[in-house]
A and B are shown apart, each in its own frame.
Chain A
Amino acid sequence: MSEHKIPPVQAAGFWQGAKDSQAIIFTYLPVSFAFGVSATQFGFTPWEALFLSCSMYAGASQFLVVALLGSGTSIWMTALTVIALDIRHLLYGPALQNLIQDKLDLKKTAFWAWGLTDEVFASGMIKLSQRRQEWSESWMLGVSLFSWMSWALGSFLGGLFADQVSHLPQFLQAALDFLLPALFLSFLLAAFEKKHTLIVAVCLIVSAIACYFINLSAAIFIGILSGILAGLFKHYILKQHDDEFGEAHES
């Protein structure tokens, strides 16, 4: 009788992370290019756009920075506004750590956590929830570093070639607008499991209402909070226990 031994799954390394960051790179390049164009329109140089992207790496909030600074808002008010917009990032570390569960090398973590944007977080979360054994800090560093470089490069190129955008075919210009929604739907499809149905439904509805009546950043935060409440409601009121929580409940 032959015994089949399943070979241990090898953790993905830095270059695999770089390869897996492709989806983010293809989305970041045009979006950050648009940031570079916007910065130039507000009177910033390409080098200043590059500096802002490298130093704050704040995604969509950077559009607000150039608009606020360009309209004469004080640097403190600008900084506080952007910090308030990005406060949701505080939730990402605990959420990932909950899935990682191993001890981290804090020096390495500091490098990849620097690049823990919404998209990098989503990518890491999908890896951890579906192929936890393949996840490694080196893989995360690859995803994070290449995403950051693409964001910085796109901003610089946008600043340099701001006046060339209008020469692109119109359908390509339109296509760029849809990259972010498409990326997030891809992440949602990749991360979705049947057990998430209630959380996703509640989040979509609540964040849409918050987006309509309040503002974008509040909508993400309120959406996440409603998702947490939906998860707790499902466990404690509906008594639908997911495997991992069910085990923890019994222990």
Chain B
Amino acid sequence: MNLEIILVGIIVGIANFASRFGPFYVIQKHQQNSQKRGSVWIKIALGSIGIAAISSMLVVATLPPLMETPNKSFAMLVGFLTLAGLYFKFKQIVPATLTAALAYGLVYTYLPFSF
């Protein structure tokens, strides 16, 4: 195996581990020394991160392929509508996600229609 690849894998792996585990470590150690609850604005900020991250990731996963290939728009709309319909009906992520992807694939391949 190429030495460059091993080095990049190890360096990025350590950095990723530090960015994922580091905050837990710091917070836990801080909590041991101080029992004070954080201020309201910090709680609001932290409470907003989750839903904000999911919303942003949805945009980042959707927009670039759409900008690159605008004729995916109709298939994407069908995929999203299928997903929303199935999710609200059955409240299950896995079948809704897979069926929506299949609907997208079928529409994009066999109904090449765009807005």
Q: Does B74 contact A (CB under 8 A)?
A: no
Please name all residues of chain A whose beta carbon is closer than 8 Å to the beta carbon of B58 when the two chains form the complex: 181, 184-185, 187-188, 204
Query: Beyond A191-B54, A203-B56, A244-B47, is A211–B23 a contact (Cβ under 8 Å)?
Result: no
Please name all residues of chain B whose beta carbon is closer than 8 Å to the beta carbon of A92 when the two chains form the complex: 20, 23, 49, 53
Please name all residues of chain B whose beta carbon is closer than 8 Å to the beta carbon of A188 when the two chains form the complex: 51, 54-55, 58
Give the B interface residue count (CB, 8 A). Answer: 75
A189→B84 contact, CB < 8 A? yes
Q: How many whole Å from B65's CB to the nearest CB in chain A?
A: 6
Q: Does B37 contact A (CB under 8 A)?
A: yes
Q: Does A69 contact B (CB under 8 A)?
A: yes
* Residue in B5, B25, B55, B98 whose beta carbon sits within 8 Å of that of A207 in the complex: B55
Chain B contact residues, CB within 8 Å of chain A = 1-2, 4-13, 15-17, 19-25, 27-28, 31, 37-38, 40-41, 43-65, 67, 75-76, 79-80, 83-84, 87-88, 93-94, 96-98, 100-102, 104-106, 108-110
Give 14 pairs: A residue, B residue, CB < 8 Å, sorted on A.
Answer: A44-B5, A56-B12, A94-B23, A94-B27, A106-B25, A109-B25, A116-B21, A178-B100, A191-B51, A199-B48, A208-B59, A212-B67, A231-B52, A248-B40
Chain A contact residues, CB within 8 Å of chain B = 22-23, 26-27, 44-45, 47-48, 51-52, 54-58, 61, 65, 69, 75, 78-79, 82-83, 86-99, 103-104, 106, 109-110, 113-116, 118, 121-122, 125, 129, 170-192, 196, 199-200, 203-204, 207-208, 211-212, 216, 219-220, 222-224, 226-228, 230-232, 235-236, 242, 244-245, 248-249
